[in-house]
Structure 1
């Protein structure tokens, strides 16, 4: 017996942030708007300078992106600027024509890609390209994400007059999506952007990941590149990485306009798969395109490998767990090595690990991010961690020390509170030095009385000092232009501090500043290298 036919129309799109994070309302903030020729920019208290910069950049990238893809949004896209956590969760929502833009630079919290361009231009252009591309290729208007048709078949029921049908014995479902672009193409084209607005580049980090995948025989298959599911964080990044490379392959062999043509080839109602769009535009199937790209990569990297076979230098492997092992730091006595690792975890969830050379042992002490440092006695490690939500629900980077000789864990009361969700307890071996400090990359002064760190606020970084005894802080620099700072370090006499500086124009250099305060100057200058 033929049963019920169900038709479900997707009306909205769940925000990416809602899938992975718990958003908190912030009634303490006041919100404002900036309206430009093509955009509406919404921002909260304290973000006016950042929002003005975003509005200017948005207007500069509008024409190059919309001209390439020959599509202009029907209404002004809204860019929502916020700085409520020390993280970057920027995303786009085509059904509401919105870009959610976070003011923490990705250069601190994203280690699988290089940082060679202005991060605000990079992320904003990336998300706007997504917004344009998605709406260009959609089959359905407005908030409709697709159609879902479903029917049931039922057993015949002839024995009782009071029973209308028997039990369901078959079900058939059909999903008809509005968008059919695979992740590798959506992310690849968003990283490529357009020739007139390219603020992302194929950097050495990406090339390392792709090169190792090719040489080790672990390149994602064509089908694996088409989904994000069933992958580790590195697998997720491989979709981005491989997709960017394959998109560059398309541009180099078929021209930039092929990207626009592929998007429009997905729009017809009768086209259900992306390979058909590839064949109609490029004249080859998706698998043939993949095979040609793969062969090109294998040839390139084999040539590179053979040219360096006599230059290999191999050290002694001491730790090979995880795929992100970062910021190594020798202990004062040279017998231990502290570093961050995502061993036993995934994505950027790194922990503080100490490796002891005498017995080849390692011990993880707890979550940590950015650069770390030892105290002079070699018993404490200074590090950054994202603290639990404050009274407004914001999670900021704060400074902590881990006492290695303290083996105590959680008390019974802490364990009980944690098990029922009343608190996220911290073992007594951890001492918190700042509260809502927004502090990263800490380093002890040679005398141990001060800590230099990077302060994050409103899309800009500055250097600051923390007095270890009083807990008071003071600013060393006063950038307001989106400058990013990394890994400050003291001179042996404690009189000066060197730091890595990433200017908004893309220049990466090394600066130096008196610890007592004053003007900073370049120690090493470079031009976008």
Structure 2
């Protein structure tokens, strides 16, 4: 529905309530939108989505909203949404920033429906007007200072059990086709179920102080449990549970579940747990032999953006922390071709008692296949100076013979004249030199070209939710460096208002760029020339394909969910020939090749752990290079057959097979064949197919 009645208004909540923002307000039948003037088009789209889902959600929960809902639209350096029942309000953030444990969905429609479903479902469970959360009763007795008596209790009018609240909001959005049970959610739940590490009901009722558990509990498990209720008890069961919570005598979710489903909340949880565990065990059995390689890290649930620079592996890790933040690790790689007794500069794995070792000249050699992991926190010293780093938006490292290693990362240290923070690309060497090479660009995902004289990155357009791919020159002498004005080398079609670009990578020769994108419908992969020409989508639009990297100048490796689980696939971008590299039970992401070893992150019981996999080149059977055709004549003999035919008065008269006679045959005459041989020449083509392998042979281990 179109917006109307535009006027200037002030509002609270947009990026710190900066006074420079020119606010507007516009109303629809059921909503009042407050938004910056620069985002009028987005406000129009948001209002259309809100009105489109209003009747469906309200009718399911049989709870009409008594007044217009206030919706404030924000745009910041993160994605979020909030429903505030006590204020009959929604806060929505517009930009679709990537989130590690969610697949890509059309953001605006999803966040509008999700938060509105929160508002309606929670209000349907309120015992009185949702402006009143409850009554708090307290008693304090200080009559005798040596003996004090205190009592405090809260009688809630509005209950918000988190797994039910978040599960309901996700389910309602998926029912409308905006959200869905995606591969990431399935990955989190599958790994937890197979490792008997599903969070208990207590954790599902609250947000954990661990960001991975906070996602797994109320969100992933909550969504799955609501889907289970819908499957086994009908589509009206969840709205009935919310409605039962509105009764004055109902003070627990367990009581509402018993009243509607006939079983306790605990019994519901156990039945759901049993069903999904059995289903995931069947899925695991169907996969056959797993191809995962060797686990490198443990006890650190976020490892990301691995980069190979010479004989060093860099990356990002939370080092066992509780959140998706942390620092950079620097890990020297083991030289697998020789044993170095001075192993101070090599990666020494801390192995458990099951690990096999062989002593060679007093140096320990790791036997392939032995179980070994390292403590990633021991590699947290990298030598760079990072300032206000936001590391979940990518890093890159360049090695220079003169200036040493240089890291590019995302920083939020720059603010505009009105106090707004922006993402910019910053660089640092190991000599304490640092600078930001962009200024107020909302720039993320940096990548050096192989020559080290330029850099590409992704940036959000001004007052927009759309991203473009840009390029700047780069001076490796950071003392002489300065911020550069970017040149856009790839800009999506103007019709695509919501377009994301992720983790661009140069080919080894620097001539091509590959990156992942999301066009608000499909998560895919594209390749183009380094100057932005010859753009080509090379992914399968039926699947979620991401995290692309180069194996050589013709082949890429990327992550795809083609069997319902993210696995790594190798592809020749020129011929289109593909080959699977992994077969995991969790999810394989962020691959990078180091000689004959492929490093990647695999989601397992510890989270996104670092793995390594033996790699050698794959040769497809169709590697024909030339066909030679030589024509020649061939002589064969043919036989012409004639038969004798007996006719009255005329014996032994020869006629051909096809001859027809009206003569009456002699009674005692037997026809005899007469065979005459003759030569016949035919033309034959001799085809010689010459196969010249361009690659070696693929071997997985």
- Normalising by the smaller structure, the TM-score range is 0.7 to 0.9
1:283-325: CA deviation from partner (whole Å, max 9, x where unpaired): 11111111111111221122223344x5123423333242011
Which residue of 1 is the match for residue 304 of structure 2? 326
Q: Deviations over 1:141-163 (max 9, x none)?
A: 152111100123455xxxxxxxx
Contact 1:64 1:196 in 2 (8 A): no
Aligned residue in 2 for 1:523:
538
Could you list the per-position Cα deviations for residues 216-269 of structure 1 after superposition, in whole angstroms to 9, with x for gaps in the alignment? 22211222222225x311221122111111111111111121111011000011
Contact kept in structure 2, 1:65 and 1:197, CA below 8 Å: no
Inter-partner Cα distance in structure 2 for 1:211 and 1:432: 42
Distance 2:202 2:148 in 1: 33
Residue 518 of structure 1 and its aligned partner are, at CA, apart by 5.6
1:395 counterpart (408, 421, 446): 421
| Corresponding position: 1:216 with 2:195 | yes
Given candidates 200, 215, 226, the residue that maps to 1:237 is: 215
Cα distance in 1 for residues equivalent to 2:44 and 2:534: 27
Q: Quick check: 2:414–2:440 contact (8 Å CA) kept in 1?
A: no
Q: 1:141 to 1:218 in 2, by over 3 A?
A: same
Partner of residue 449, structure 1: 453
Could you report, residue by residue, the CA deviation over 1:176-203 in whole angstroms, capped at 9, with x for unpaired residues?
1122231111011111115641322222
The yes-or-no answer on 1:437 pairing with 2:441 is yes
Please give the alpha-carbon distance, in whole angstroms, between the structure 2 residues aligned to 1:28 and 1:195.
37
Residue in 2 aligned with 1:100?
A: 91
Say which SS state the counterpart of residue 501 (structure 1) adopts: strand
SS in 2 for 1:499: strand
Which shifted more, 342-351 or 384-393?
A: 384-393
Q: How does 1:80-479 map to 2 (within 5 A)?
A: 80-83=72-75, 85-107=76-98, 110-115=99-104, 117-153=105-141, 155=143, 169-193=148-172, 196-229=175-208, 231-239=209-217, 240-308=219-287, 310-331=288-309, 333=310, 335-358=311-334, 359-360=346-347, 362-365=379-382, 366=386, 367=389, 368-377=391-400, 379-387=405-413, 389-403=415-429, 405-406=430-431, 428-457=432-461, 458-468=464-474, 471-475=484-488, 476-478=490-492, 479=494
Tell me the secondary structure at the aligned position of residue 180 of structure 1. Answer: coil
Q: Displacement, 1:490?
A: 2.7
Give the superposed CA RMSD.
Answer: 2.5
Q: Which has the higher helix share?
A: 1
CA distance in 1, matches of 2:173, 2:395: 38
Q: Take 2:438 and 2:422, find their aligned partners in 1: how far apart are those partners?
A: 10
- The alignment partner of 1:348 has SS state of coil
Paired with 1:28 and 1:448, the residues of 2 have a C-alpha distance of 39
Equivalence for 1:52: 44
Contact 2:194 2:277 in 1 (8 A): yes
CA-CA distance at 1:24 after TM superposition: 2.3
**3-state SS of paired residue (2:197):** coil
Q: 1:313 to 1:99 in 2, by over 3 A?
A: same
**How far, CA to CA, are the matches of 2:22 and 2:195 in structure 1?**
53
1:21-53 deviation digits (Å, cap 9, x = unpaired): x96231111011232232222211422222222
For the structure 1 residues 246 and 36, does the alpha-carbon distance in structure 2 shift closer, same or farther, using more than 3 Å as the test? same
1:388-445 CA distance string (max 9 Å, x none): 6544332222111232x33xxxxxxxxxxxxxxxxxxxxx344321222201111122
Structure 2: how far apart are the matches of 1:468 and 1:202? 43
Would you say how many aligned residue pairs link Structure 1 and Structure 2? Answer: 470
Secondary structure at the residue paired with 1:212? Answer: helix
**1:126 shift after superposition:** 1.1
Q: Which moved more, 1:278-287 or 1:379-388?
A: 379-388
Task: Give TM-score, length-normalised by structure 2.
Answer: 0.63
**Cα distance, 1:92–1:203 mapped onto 2, change above 3 Å:** same
Q: Which moved more, 1:34-43 or 1:232-241?
A: 34-43
Structure 1: runs of 5+ lacking an equivalent? 1-16, 156-164, 407-427
Which secondary structure state, in structure 1, belongs to the residue aligned with residue 394 of structure 2? strand
Deviation at 1:124, TM superposition (A): 1.9
Aligned to 1:66: 58
Determine which of 511, 514, 524 is the counterpart of 1:498. 514
State the shift of 1:495 in Å: 4.3
Alignment check: 8 A CA contact 2:414 2:439 kept: no
Q: Residue 452 of structure 2: SS of its match in structure 1?
A: coil
Change (3 A) 1:194 1:524: closer
Residue 130 of structure 2 contacts residue 158 of structure 2 at CA under 8 Å; is this kept in 1? Answer: no
Q: Could you list the runs of 5+ residues in structure 2 that have no partner in the other structure? A: 1-11, 335-345, 348-377, 476-482, 545-701
TM-score scaled to structure 1, two decimals? 0.82
SS of the residue corresponding to residue 294 of structure 2 reads: coil
Q: In structure 1, what is the Cα distance between the partners aligned to 2:248 and 2:113? A: 29
| Alignment-derived partner of residue 7 in structure 1 | none
- C-alpha contact (below 8 Å) 2:526/2:538 kept by paired residues: yes
Find the structure with the greater CA-based Rg.
Answer: 2
Hey, which of these two has a bigger chunk of strand by percent?
A: 2
Contact 1:64 1:194 in 2 (8 A): no
